[in-house]
Amino acid sequence: MCKLRLIVLKWLDKIIGTGKPDEHKTDTIAFGELKAWVAHESQAELDELSEAASQIIAEIMGEKEQLVRDTKILKAAEPSEEPSRISKLVLAARDSLLKQITTLIDKIIAPDMNYADIRNFYTSVNDYLNLTLEKSFKSHQRVKYMFPKEVGPVIADVGSIKRSLDRLGNLLDERKAEIENFDDILENIRLIQEIESDLITYNSKIKSVSSKIDAARHEIDDCTARLDELSESEEWGSFVLLERELKQRDLEIAALKNSVTELFTPLGKALNRMKKLSSSGRHTLSKKNEGLLDICLKNPILADTTDINGFLTEIMQLAESGTLGLKDKKRDKIVDQIKHIMSSFASKKEQYEALDSQIREINHKVSYLTIADAKATLEKQHTEKTRNIVGFEKELVSLNEELNLRSGELDKRKRELSGAVNSVRRMDILFD
């Protein structure tokens, strides 16, 4: 029977917690339960504050009522002698003091018993009270001269309110850290939830971008496979030969263009001065030569062989006459270069036209090959998908950087939250 009684007592002790607390035990709490825990703990703290503050505020309200009564007595007091210059000054000082005291009385309104309202009540009344005491000192001294019995209680009442306010301020300061700590806990909870939501978004975006990269790579593999299939077709051999020949002609014509451009480069100064003379009206060019001037400045290979010599002759004449304002040495070099161009341009133009004709002929042949369009389409798709992958990979790097940054912020907030919670009670927080 005793053994059964002992078992029952132990069970009750476990249920209602009558056993001695383990000072070294660390409780655990799920992150999702923290808000409810904060609400409970902070309410207990606020209840204690409200109980203590309500007592002080009740005293302040009683002191306010006494101040109202004493103020009425001071206001109703009559001067002991006929008004004189001094009496007028004293009465004016009394009116000023009563006005300040009345404003103070109006500010003393019992607040709701929560931390924010109590703090606002204290700050508002205390700030004005300090201002009142500073402003009313001179008035008080003058009023005391004629109404010493009546003004004394008023000043004493204000002093009592000030002392009670100081006690209220000390109480608020003592509890400030604990109460604001709960605010910090709630703010960290909010930030952690916000960051976790961001992490879900980032992970979702990373998954989406990764899927796009995989899809683009699959499409590239498909393009590559289809290009391989094309390379095994009957037309492929003819196409490769034509394409190789086309590339060779393109290289040759590009080299020829550069060669002609280099021929005209030394004429740049003369051509530009000629353009300025034409623009300003100091020299008139024919429509044909105006067009040749622009061609020679931009892409001289396009100049017509039958017209170029006449145009170059005009430049040479302008240079030799001094119209272009060139120094002798520069003029001689330009004249020599013009003569060199006049002797060599025709052959280069002939080579250019032959190459251009060959390129157009090769392109014409290629256009008849069905494989050409298919290859061009596949290569375009391949290029686009490769470019897309580059963009996706940059986006992925950026998302991962943001993810890592926010993950670091999350760890920091969790540490801050744990520290704030443990300053209230030793507990391990179980994060999801």
What is the pLDDT at residue 197? 93
What is the pLDDT at residue 383? 93
Beta strands in 85-136 (DSSP E): none
- Judged against a pLDDT cut of 90, whether residue 212 lies above it is answered with yes
Angstrom distance (rounded) from CA 201 to CA 189: 19
Q: Three-state SS for 323?
A: coil
> How far is CA 230 from each of CA 220, 224, 363, 376, 416, rounded to the nearest angstrom?
15, 10, 19, 11, 64
What confidence tens digit (pLDDT) does each residue in 233-262 have?
777 778 888 889 999 999 999 999 999 999
- Judged against a pLDDT cut of 50, whether residue 4 lies above it is answered with no
* Contact (Cβ atoms closer than 8 angstroms) between residue 164 and residue 59: yes
* The two structure tokens encoding residue 76: 């109703």
- According to DSSP, the residues that pair with 131 across neighbouring strands are none
Q: Classify residue 416 as exposed, middle or buried by CB count within 10 Å of its CB (0-12, 13-18, 19+).
A: middle
What is the pLDDT at residue 419? 87
What confidence tens digit (pLDDT) does each residue in 355-388 have?
999 999 988 888 877 787 888 888 899 999 999 9
* The two structure tokens encoding residue 3: 């053994």
What confidence tens digit (pLDDT) does each residue in 313-329 have?
888 888 888 888 888 88
pTM of the predicted model, to two decimals? 0.51
* Contact (Cβ atoms closer than 8 angstroms) between residue 89 and residue 142: yes
* Domain 33-176 sits in CATH 1.10.10: no
* The two structure tokens encoding residue 403: 């993810």
What is the pLDDT at residue 140? 65
Mean pLDDT, rounded, for 9-26: 46
How large is the C-alpha radius of gyration of the chain?
A: 49
Q: SS3 string of 361-412?
A: HHHHHHHCCHHHHHHHHHHHHHHHHHHHHHHHHHHHHHHHHHHHHHHHHHHH
- According to DSSP, the residues that pair with 183 across neighbouring strands are none
- Judged against a pLDDT cut of 70, whether residue 8 lies above it is answered with no
pLDDT tier at 228 (50, 70, 90 boundaries)?
Answer: confident
